[in-house]
């Protein structure tokens, strides 16, 4: 269920500035680079639609969980850092709460933790994933 929440939030939040930048700016404040807002919006909508499609097909992989959680974590960090620097409106604190909620839903759903730190493990090793899965296969160049 956490994935459906995130899919909906990301698709809505991503497409909102693309289709109606004036109402988006009325809530979040004026933007200097509208093209950048729309670019980020389309990227969020892409992530959200990928999450929705994976949920529909019942294919919630570790990689999907990684992208879903780290994208929410990235938005959370950006919200907190730039609100504290007064670069963006404090309304983004509501988005930070929403991102924290989305992350918690993934955690509650599957116990997934995106980063596992340990002496014997890569800092980016995913839970229940053997270390060998991250070894890069080297193939000879066709040239």
Length of the chain: 143
The confidence score (pLDDT) of residue 107 equals 77
11-42 confidence digits (pLDDT tens): 999 999 999 999 999 999 999 999 999 999 99
Q: What is the pTM of this model?
A: 0.74
What are residue 121's phi and psi, to 5 degrees?
-120, 150
77-120 confidence digits (pLDDT tens): 999 999 999 999 999 999 999 999 999 988 776 655 554 545 45
Q: Where are the domains of the chain?
A: 2-113
What are residue 140's phi and psi, to 5 degrees?
-65, 145
For residue 67, pLDDT over 70 is answered with yes
Place of tokens 């907190």: 80
Sign of CA dihedral 127, 11, 80, 39: positive
């Amino acid at each position: 269920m956490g994935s459906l929440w995130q899919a909906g939030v990301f698709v809505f939040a991503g497409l909102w500035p693309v289709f109606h930048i004036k109402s988006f700016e009325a809530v979040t404040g004026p933007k200097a680079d509208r093209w950048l807002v729309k670019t980020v919006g389309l990227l969020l909508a892409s992530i959200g639609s990928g999450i929705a499609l994976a949920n529909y097909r019942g294919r919630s992989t570790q990689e999907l969980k990684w992208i879903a959680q780290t994208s929410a974590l990235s938005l959370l960090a950006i919200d907190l850092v730039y609100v504290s620097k007064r670069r963006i409106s404090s309304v983004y604190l509501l988005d930070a709460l929403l991102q924290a909620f989305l992350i918690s839903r993934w955690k509650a759903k599957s116990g997934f933790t995106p980063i596992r730190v340990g002496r014997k493990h890569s800092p980016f090793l995913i839970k229940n994933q053997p270390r060998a899965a991250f070894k890069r296969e080297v193939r000879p160049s066709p040239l």
